[in-house]
Structure 1
Amino acid sequence: MVAVMVTATAAGCAQTVSGAAQRADAGVPDPDRSYGYVDDRCGLLENTTVQELIGAESVTRPYSGAVCQYVLSRKSPAATVDVVYSWFDMGALDRERDVAVARGAVVTDVVVERHPAFLARRDVTGAACSASAAAGTGVLSWWVQYRGQAAGDPCAEAQKLLAATLRSDL
């Protein structure tokens, strides 16, 4: 038995590409979903869910619709927390980012529940932050402000509310 070794050479071309590898963007994961006001829920969340995520003893929702307002009270740390949910069914994430930047917010791009999103921190009358994501046909946002307080991380709470909304089922 004779062993035969064959060597093959293939000619090709190589190209160096600059930049960083990124995952393919499949667009918004839920292009047909609505995140509006449904069955007395804002952003598909019950009032008690918002209360639990903020860690509050009480919650009041003085206004509901395309924009929903909440006023929450908590004892530890003692604070009144203002929360606003908004759903713009024909909105654009880039437009919302531009508005946040124009208003002096510090913007950080993030991905929340597979959705392109950003956090916008702007402390004017208390520590405040919004978490906004492209979702369904538009943009949804949760804004959290610690009334009259400069300390704390409202971005973490805004992002928790955003994640819960994007995970919620009707």
Structure 2
Amino acid sequence: MTSIRRRATAAVLGLAAVAASAACTVDGQPVREGGAVGSDTGHVDTSRFDKLLAECEVLPAATIAKAVGGTTAESNFFGANCRWSVLPQQIDVTFNWFEWGDYNLEKETAQHLGFTTENISVQSQAAFTQRDPARPAVCGVTAKSPAGGIFTWWVEPEGQQAGDACAAPVKLMELILTGAN
């Protein structure tokens, strides 16, 4: 048998094996590891997680409003990110806490998005500011969480504001890192 013929035969046998295995079925039902058939409904009983959105209550709304120069803060979204509208100046405030977030990856992502970053320290924790050059009135501050992961505060005023754009998110970070509420 020639070398070409052997290769062709091997290729045909290989294709036949792939086709035969693709036609196989496996008996049973898929179940997540540690589960039992019929026990995983896909529904989560959220009453078992009484602190599910507690990170959005880490600071009272009045404290958030005062820290950014407003009089009232109205929460408008609780979820992966917590958001408030601060009045009367119309300042948007966003907070997130990624329990498994990576500080260095967050900084690299900000830089990849074109934001300028500056290393700072807030309450003895490593932190950095992030600014979008196209929106100089907006600033975010990310710090390592003492409990693990990262905290980030973003403050976005409508229109230009006087002073340092990062002063308000730094103040919010100080408050959360000292446990003030």
Q: TM-score, normalised by structure 1?
A: 0.68
The structure whose Rg is larger is: 2
Is the 2:59–2:180 Cα contact (8 Å) retained in structure 1?
Answer: no
8 Å contact from structure 1 (residues 110, 118) kept in 2: yes
Specify the SS of the correspondent of 2:114.
coil
2:133 pairs with 1:119: no
Cα distance, 1:128 vs structure 2: 0.5
Mapping of 1:1-170 within 5 angstroms?
A: 37-38=53-54, 42=56, 44-74=58-88, 79-125=89-135, 127-135=137-145, 136-149=147-160, 151-168=162-179
Structure with higher RCO (Cα < 8 A, 6+ apart): 1
SS in 2 for 1:42: helix
| Structure 1: gaps (5+ residues) | 1-35
Residue ranges of structure 2 left out of the alignment (5+ in a row):
1-51
Give aligned-pair identity as a percent.
28
Moved over 6 A (4+): none
RMSD, matched Cα? 2.1
Normalised by the size of structure 2, how large is the TM-score?
A: 0.65
One-letter identity of the residue aligned with 2:74:
T
Q: Which one has the bigger helix percentage?
A: 2
Question: Displacement, 1:147?
Answer: 1.6
Q: How many residue pairs end up in the alignment?
A: 129
Give 1 or 2: higher strand fraction: 1
Q: Summarize the Cα distance change of 1:121–1:104 in structure 2 as closer, same or farther, 3 Å threshold.
A: same
> Whole-Å Cα distance in 2 between the matches of residues 70 and 58 of structure 1?
10
